[in-house]
Amino acid sequence: MNDMATSEARRSRDRILEILLRSEEPLGIQALAAMLGISRNAAHQQMVALEGEGLVERAETLRTKGRPSQGFRLSAAGRATFPRQYALLASQLLFELSRHLPPEQLRATMDKIGTGLAATLPAPSDPEDATAHIAGLMRDLGYQSHAVEGEDGPEIEAHNCVFHDLAIANPAICEVDLAILRSLSGKKVEHRRCMALGGRSCRFAFKPA
């Protein structure tokens, strides 16, 4: 497929997602083809690809004047491709909490949030591989993290922080990370390097509880 064809296919793909987002009812391939001004076969190929990516899902069969046709709608993953202002909301929430809670209570609240998040994640089953397992869970959350060997034992290094802007505004947000790591490892956690404080990465060391 040449660049022009690839670009056209991408525009059709994005347009399908937008049409399904705006539609109150599931739509069939024929209706989508007509809206896009493309062939039914081209629309079918786009829907197969989008379904394979998990961005659309099959809905109820549509009754038309002709033979019934399969209806499609956006999946939750498809809706998530559209912009959301989570960072803005999180920033405002942290600002309001910091206004009304003393520093110790704010850190305790962040600790509770991290502990709650950790409870939704699978705990390591092999103590020998716990650090690598936890680093993998952090990657699933959006961190560029990996297990490394520290001066006195295994550590986790993360080259980004999903809360970086919030941590710059208020380092109490780091308690979320620390609580997640404490809960999953069952150990004390030392925050040996922090990007919010100027470090080139974040490093976490584990000590017996």
Each residue's pLDDT expressed in tens, for the chain with a length of 209 residues: 556 556 777 888 899 999 999 998 999 999 999 999 999 999 999 999 999 999 999 988 877 666 778 899 999 999 988 888 888 899 999 999 999 999 999 999 999 999 999 999 998 988 889 999 999 999 999 999 999 998 888 999 999 999 999 999 999 999 999 999 999 999 999 999 999 999 999 999 999 88
Alpha carbons 26 and 17: distance in angstroms, whole number: 12
- The structural architecture, per CATH, of the domain 86-207 is 2-Layer Sandwich (3.30)
Q: What are phi and psi of 110, to 5 degrees?
A: -65, -35
Q: Which pLDDT does position 68 carry in this prediction?
A: 77
Q: What is the SS3 assignment for 192?
A: strand
Domain ranges for the chain: 3-79, 86-207
Q: Directed axis angle between helix 40-52 and helix 3-22, to 10°?
A: 80
What's the pLDDT at 127?
83
Per CATH, which fold does 3-79 belong to?
Arc Repressor Mutant, subunit A (1.10.10)
Q: Characterize the bridge pairing of strands 69-74 and 56-62.
A: antiparallel
In CATH terms, are 3-79 and 86-207 the same topology?
Answer: no
Token pair for 134: 């936890």
Q: Answer whether 0.85 is exceeded by the pTM.
A: no
Q: Give the per-residue pLDDT at 5.
A: 58
